[in-house]
């Protein structure tokens, strides 16, 4: 009966979601190399609503230090350019017809250190999210035991499994941070 009453798969799915979210945030951190994912967080005011930049144009990476946005609607060029300038990514768009070129400037040491701090902040948020999922799972286990749907032994076994899963996902989060910091500091 205890095996049917607690779903560890849901707990794992939620913890993995925190890890995926962290990886998406890392993709938006500029490392001095051009990647299309750098522009993904940018939202453009188009047709009276907010739209992701990839829904108003095609993002390309023609060379390692250059991004391009081929805007589909000529009337949207100024809105896309404005969104890129206001994104806080430090990019300076150059408009050429319906093509917007974005040269990726070289990162200085101060900016690299700042990006590492931002990556650490994102990582701590992911760790907190995983710990919150762990807390929710532990509360559910306590409730099941209190309501006599689970024995104390089953409660302890499930609690151990949840803790091991938490440790595993946090280790993966730490590894992702180490990889991203190495990428940022690479000259």
Against a cut of 0.85, is the pTM above it?
A: no
Q: What domain range includes position 20?
A: 2-26+108-185
- Classify residue 54 by burial, with Cβ atoms within 10 Å: 0-12, 13-18, 19+: middle
pLDDT in tens, the chain (187 residues): 344 467 889 999 999 999 998 988 887 776 667 777 778 878 899 888 988 888 899 999 888 888 899 999 888 899 999 998 887 777 889 998 889 998 887 778 887 888 888 889 999 999 999 999 999 999 999 999 898 888 899 999 999 999 999 999 999 999 999 998 888 887 6
Asked if residue 115 and residue 95 are part of one domain, the reply reads no
40 shares its domain with 13: no
Task: Check whether residue 8 and residue 54 sit in a common domain.
Answer: no
Domain boundary among the residues 49, 84, 103 is at 103
Extract long-range pairs of 121-128: CB within 8 Å, 24+ residues apart: 122/22, 122/25, 122/26, 123/22, 123/173, 123/174, 123/176, 123/177, 125/22, 126/18, 126/19, 126/21, 126/22, 126/173, 127/170, 127/173
Same domain assignment for residues 44 and 96: yes
Q: What's the confidence (pLDDT) of residue 141?
A: 92
Check which CATH number belongs to the domain holding 88 and give it.
Answer: 3.30.1360.40
Q: How many domains does the chain have?
A: 2
Give how far Cα 138 sits from Cα of 75, 106, 117, 151, 183, Å.
54, 47, 31, 14, 36
Q: Which residues contact 8 (CB under 8 A, 6 or more apart)?
A: 137, 158, 161, 162, 165
């Amino acid at each position: 009966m205890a095996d049917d009453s607690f779903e560890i798969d849901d707990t794992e799915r939620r913890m993995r979601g925190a890890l995926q979210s962290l990886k998406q945030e890392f993709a938006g951190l500029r490392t001095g190399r051009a990647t299309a994912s750098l522009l993904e967080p940018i939202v453009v005011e188009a047709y009276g609503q907010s739209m992701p930049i990839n829904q108003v144009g095609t993002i390309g990476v023609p060379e390692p230090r250059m991004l391009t946005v081929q805007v589909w609607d000529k009337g949207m060029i100024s809105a896309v350019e404005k969104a890129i300038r206001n994104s806080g990514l430090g990019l300076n768009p150059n408009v050429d017809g319906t093509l917007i070129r974005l040269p990726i400037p070289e990162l200085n040491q101060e900016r690299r250190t700042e990006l590492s701090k931002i990556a650490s902040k994102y990582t701590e948020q992911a760790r907190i999210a995983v710990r919150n999922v762990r807390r929710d799972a532990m509360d559910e286990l306590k409730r099941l035991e209190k309501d006599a749907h689970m024995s104390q032994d089953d409660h302890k076994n499930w609690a151990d499994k949840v803790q091991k899963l938490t440790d595993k996902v946090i280790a993966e989060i730490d590894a992702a941070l180490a990889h991203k910091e190495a990428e940022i500091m690479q000259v």
